[in-house]
Amino acid sequence: SYTMMGKLDEGDRGIIPRTCEEMFEKIESNNDESLHYSVEVSYMEIYCERVKDLLNPMNKGNLRVREHPVLGPYVEGLSKLAVTSFAEINALMDEGNKARTVASTNMNAVSSRSHAVFTIVLTQKKDDLITGLASEKVSKVSLVDLAGSERAKDTGAEGKRLQEGANINKSLTTLGKVIHALAERSAAAAKKKGKKGGEFVPYRDSVLTWILKENLGGNSKTTMIAALSPADINFEETLSTLRYADQAKQIVCAAIV
């Protein structure tokens, strides 16, 4: 969470606010009068395999995940808010973070009990001054804050906290299976010179992997950051994370604009 979101202080901002800030700096530096930009954002959390809209406190229900035949998986009813500046996006992030599910455990005083996905949709419209026609490009950036895997004996989790930890571990295990299957598919494709392998990818075994289907193995460029600990008490988690990262490196994605 610190890597992705950081703190409000400018020097301690994480990847999500830094990405948003740089995007608006690029937009504001545009001098091409034929080029126009619009930005929409959404923010959701996946808590115990249920999807919650962090930007709409009135929508407290469990949102459904659907799959579009062309665009892929999406969350039905999720708020998409238009923003025109980094200040607006920062205010929305702050409101969303306050709505996230957190709790105290033996390992962390403010432990994330859910995964969070902050999505930016950037639309670039270019007018052809000669023909009067316009072309449009739409880019989607999904910035994901994964909750860490947990061992109940270390966190001291009981009751509700124990159930939350089990759901976190379940979705992370499924993510591991998806990464393994995609790595196997990429390896098979390399051997067959570009033809896709037949490895089944269990995207739908978890809400997290279903929502991130396009990001993990679709038309995308994907970066995964592995958070490690030098402490010997975290040896098993560190080793597991390194295995995740090693397999993730083997996945080949080809983004097409």
Residues of the chain with pLDDT > 70, as a percent, come to 85
pLDDT of residue 26: 94
The pLDDT-based confidence of 23 (bands split at 50, 70, 90) is very high
Residue 49, pLDDT above cutoff 80: yes
User: Residue range 7-16: average pLDDT?
Assistant: 83
Q: 203 and 178 in contact (C-beta within 8 Å)?
A: yes
**pLDDT score for 22:** 96
Average pLDDT over residues 94-101: 86
Strand, coil or helix: what is 187?
Answer: helix
- HSE, side-chain direction, 13 A CA sphere, residue 179: 21
Give the integer Cα–Cα distance in Å for 52 and 45.
Answer: 5
The rounded mean pLDDT for the chain is: 84
Residues in the chain: 257
pTM of the prediction?
0.84
Residue type present at position 18: R
Pick from 136, 49, 134, 145: nearest CA to 96? 145
- The number of angstroms, rounded, from the C-alpha of 83 to the middle of its chain's C-alpha atoms is 19
- When pLDDT is averaged across residues 222-237 and rounded to a whole number, the result is 88
Check residue 116 and give its pLDDT: 93
Q: Identify the pLDDT of residue 102.
A: 63
Per-residue pLDDT band for 109 (boundaries 50, 70, 90) equals: very low
The model's pLDDT over 136-191, given as tens digits with 9 standing for 90+, comes to 999 999 999 988 765 545 545 455 656 666 677 788 889 889 998 998 888 887 77
Confidence band for 6, pLDDT divided at 50, 70 and 90: confident
State residue 164 phi and psi, 5-degree precision.
Answer: -60, -45
Least confident of 46-55, 69-78, 151-160, 164-173: 151-160
Q: What SS3 class is residue 191?
A: helix
Domains in the chain (CATH in brackets) are 10-248 (3.40.850.10)
